[in-house]
Amino acid sequence: MSAPLLELTNVSRHFGGVRAVQNVSARIEAGEIVGLIGPNGAGKTTLVNVITGAHRATGGEIHFMGERVTNQKPYQAARRGLSRTFQIVQPFPSMTVRENVAAGALFAGKAISRRAAMDAAEAHLNFVGLGKLVDAPASTLTLPNRKRLELAKSLAMRPRMLLLDEVNAGLNLSEIDEALRLIREIAAQGVTIIIIEHLMKVVLGLSQRILVLHHGELTAEGAPEDILEDERVIEAYLGDRFAKRRQGAQS
């Protein structure tokens, strides 16, 4: 069996007494779309932060493309092809939309010059539907457009793996459909995707495999249909009384 694209081995991250991520082990193969779900505070964002170097791991190992990358710096993650979107979008407010994306192309996407980066930026902005706003200051964008900008920025980095942290939060139904179409297209280009999402419909429809985090631990893993049936997942989302009642009804 060949090495997976991303391999997590007993990864932990604690904040003082809070075990935000606890002993998580997982393998993500190249080309997969993996959903990462779990209730609020389960540790999803923290796990993304540890993978991309924004936080140091308290314990465990991370390998990306066979290389040990535990506690890499964020810029190293970016250059290795690990790119992420922020749950709370982080533009460069007084730069134009095009410059925001060009930065990704120049510093992580290996664009050879600022000129080339600007051109690449324009293509990515057209792709996410911001082609008409390239010269607007990023601070003037609406929330849905900021999310699109976030996506264009990540794409400009030419990632091998894209970690999407709630890119759909705050979008309406038609905007979500549009976002899903984009994500499928990105995946079709060969980018491996980990998607964090609260809307079950979205994750289940998109993902080939689901990882469930609860209190920082990986409690379940499997195909979307199986996950829906899993007691631990129901317990995590709806509370253990509901799960017990269900169990009682089944026996």
Ligand X SMILES: Nc1ncnc2c1ncn2[C@@H]1O[C@H](COP(=O)(O)OP(=O)(O)OP(=O)(O)O)[C@@H](O)[C@H]1O
Q: Which residues of the chain form contacts with other proteins (CB under 8 A)?
A: 52, 54, 73-75, 77-79, 84, 86, 90-95, 99, 102-104, 106-109, 114, 153, 157
Phi then psi for 61, rounded to 5 degrees?
A: -130, 145
Helices vs strands, H then E, count in the chain:
10, 10
Q: How far apart are CA 70 and CA 1, in angstroms?
A: 22
Q: Please choose which of Mg ion, other proteins, ligand X, none residue 242 contacts, taking the beta carbon within 5 to 8 angstroms, the exact cut-off set by kind.
A: none
Q: Dihedral, CA atoms, 78, 84, 87, 90, nearest 10 degrees? A: 40
Q: Is 15 in the site for ligand X (CB under 6 A)?
A: yes
Q: Is 11 in the site for ligand X (CB under 6 A)?
A: no
Q: For residue 42, what are the CA distances in angstroms to 143, 202, 208, 214?
A: 25, 19, 21, 5
Report the residue number, 122 or 165, with the smaller CB distance to Mg ion.
165
CB 238, min distance to Mg ion, A: 20
Burial letters 76-96, b for 16+ CB under 10 A, else e: ebbbbbbbbbbbebebeeeeb
Size of the site for Mg ion (CB under 5 A): 3
Q: Which of 45, 49, 70, 207 binds Mg ion (CB under 5 A)?
A: 45
Report the residue number, 146 or 214, with the smaller CB distance to other proteins.
146
Q: Please choose which of Mg ion, other proteins, ligand X, none residue 205 contacts, taking the beta carbon within 5 to 8 angstroms, the exact cut-off set by kind.
A: none
Cβ proximity of 82 and 52 under 8 Å: yes
User: Binding mask 58-97 vs ligand X (x if CB under 6 A, - otherwise)?
Assistant: -----------------------------x----------
CB 40, min distance to Mg ion, A: 8
Q: Is 40 in the site for ligand X (CB under 6 A)?
A: yes
